[in-house]
Structure 1
């Protein structure tokens, strides 16, 4: 038998295979997250805190099960112990984001929330420069300015009473805390995202439990709450945590834009919720700036240069 038949694949071939697999997983994470608004609109429970509680409980149960299957009892405990302060802050950010997303749906459209989130990578770049003085290129500054302009167009609807200022404020808060989590995740690369996000869902469940008027829901709602927690939040986080390590940051960011792109489409097709004109215009500005910037970043990262912080997308 030829000995070469038993030799491992060349590193370049294995790397390309890993990147293709990772790209698929990151795309699947964005796809799972994009279903959030459409699933939420099926839930009749009027108390948002009840929705947050059950969504978080189901997501936490799934993520714990996923880590136990992947890492075993000892490995899972070690992951939680190894998070440290950065992991706790990231957990708090994701807990805030997942909670605020549900509450914001009571005040504004899915499109408003998701299109604002499209600017997370660029806001993360700004925060990294502000806090850690990481270098930001002129192209990134230009893209940040365009994103600010696009978000301003969307938020301007609050000034004339067309859209609730509370809803837009909550949507903006989601974008900010996800950007903070992105910066910390990239700055402290040793912190595993899966246990941090799992802890975030537990934070959200605990806080919602202290705010809700009751935990009882119908069987119909529980079915959609299960999907909201396991498929939308938990499975999306598991796909992203596994796949994001295998692809360049710019590629992960580009694939992550499928969430704000597809999310409003599902809600429009299933529930007939049509985004306003200003939301569409502002979202188009944000998307144009983001995609142009990611394309430039992908070209830059194809060279042997240390990737920047602007390329990592984050979940709801």
Structure 2
């Protein structure tokens, strides 16, 4: 009886789960404003990424100090930071070169890259449902290139796909790590991006207008810094499936904000492809979770 009681206390309560869901909803909604504010800053992509991450690094570090989390500068934290930096850089570049819808949906393909990389490098067996998801998602991705895109738009799509690959690599390299390693990796990712991007402020033409400054502050604090803190809190008591599914709010809302404020809209084929990608990955998350639960029950 004592063991059962102890285990029950360790499980998150309904209130904690509800709070986790709310954290993730706010997190994904804040992430979704990235496209519109990146479009509003007339700077070089590297400069935007550098300033955004420099501001976010201050927010993340303040949270780490407030919670008295010990930084762990281990190999997995550095690798996590490197891949996170790749995500931040690729996402901003993609937003500058292609539509916001293309950039975020193509990054959302990361679960498919996890399946592919796991099969190739970790020799994990793919289930039939995994293969169907990979094929459906790749078919959806291919539709993004059927629209009449400029060479820059095609390159932007490639950076969006690369961002998805970076997300997958970060997941596979780090896996399940403790809070100290995870937060150290997040902080390092912001610092690496700032170091790479900030020099662009001095080598590219930068127009320091009130609109640009306000947009950068919003990007650094509300679109990148605070959401990563909320994501950590959501993952503490919420299930990975719930966080993944709620995270789908980002690719759904991101292009909506951009369309409302700038009039930018994805092409017909990209819109169809986005629907295929989001539906395929969402259904795969639900199916994969059910399969795992059945296997654990056996």
What is the TM-score of this pair, normalised by structure 1?
0.83
User: Contact 1:251–1:298 at 8 Å: present in 2 too?
Assistant: no
SS at 1:40's partner residue?
helix
Matched residues in 1 for 2:106 and 2:179: separation? 29
Distance of aligned partners of 1:184 and 1:28 in 2 relative to their CA distance in 1, 3 Å threshold: farther
2:54 corresponding residue in structure 1: 57
Of residues 86, 95, 103 in structure 2, which corresponds to 1:96?
86
CA-CA distance at 1:183 after TM superposition: 1.8
1:109 corresponding residue in structure 2: 99
1:171 corresponding residue in structure 2: 160
1:70 corresponding residue in structure 2: 67
- For residues 251-266 of structure 1, the aligned pairs below 5 Å read 251-266=242-257
Matched residues in 2 for 1:48 and 1:62: separation? 21
Gaps of 5+ in 2: none
Matched residues in 2 for 1:107 and 1:180: separation? 23
Matched residues in 2 for 1:17 and 1:258: separation? 22
Matched, 1:79 2:59: no
User: Contact 2:51–2:197 at 8 Å: present in 1 too?
Assistant: no
Gaps of 5+ in 1: 1-6, 307-316
User: Contact 1:112–1:279 at 8 Å: present in 2 too?
Assistant: yes
User: Contact 2:97–2:156 at 8 Å: present in 1 too?
Assistant: yes
User: Contact 1:60–1:201 at 8 Å: present in 2 too?
Assistant: yes
CA-CA distance at 1:28 after TM superposition: 1.8
Distance of aligned partners of 1:210 and 1:133 in 2 relative to their CA distance in 1, 3 Å threshold: same
Matched residues in 2 for 1:123 and 1:191: separation? 26
Distance of aligned partners of 1:193 and 1:10 in 2 relative to their CA distance in 1, 3 Å threshold: closer
- For residues 271-282 of structure 1, the aligned pairs below 5 Å read 271-282=262-273
CA-CA distance at 1:12 after TM superposition: 8.5
Distance of aligned partners of 1:22 and 1:192 in 2 relative to their CA distance in 1, 3 Å threshold: farther
Aligned pair count reads: 291
SS at 2:296's partner residue?
coil
User: Contact 2:27–2:230 at 8 Å: present in 1 too?
Assistant: yes
CA-CA distance at 1:301 after TM superposition: 4.3
Of residues 285, 290, 299 in structure 1, which corresponds to 2:281?
290
CA-CA distance at 1:49 after TM superposition: 2.5
2:137 corresponding residue in structure 1: 147
Distance of aligned partners of 1:96 and 1:14 in 2 relative to their CA distance in 1, 3 Å threshold: closer
SS at 1:192's partner residue?
helix
1:194 corresponding residue in structure 2: 183
User: Contact 1:79–1:195 at 8 Å: present in 2 too?
Assistant: yes
CA-CA distance at 1:137 after TM superposition: 2.0
2:34 corresponding residue in structure 1: 36
Matched residues in 2 for 1:14 and 1:90: separation? 27
2:261 corresponding residue in structure 1: 270
1:309 corresponding residue in structure 2: none
CA shift digits 1:165-197 (9 cap, x unpaired): 211111111111011112223255676322212
SS at 1:259's partner residue?
helix
User: Contact 1:157–1:163 at 8 Å: present in 2 too?
Assistant: no
Matched residues in 2 for 1:99 and 1:244: separation? 24
CA shift digits 1:15-52 (9 cap, x unpaired): 33332222221222111111100122222x33223222
User: Contact 1:23–1:252 at 8 Å: present in 2 too?
Assistant: yes
Of residues 172, 182, 203 in structure 2, which corresponds to 1:183?
172
1:46 corresponding residue in structure 2: 43
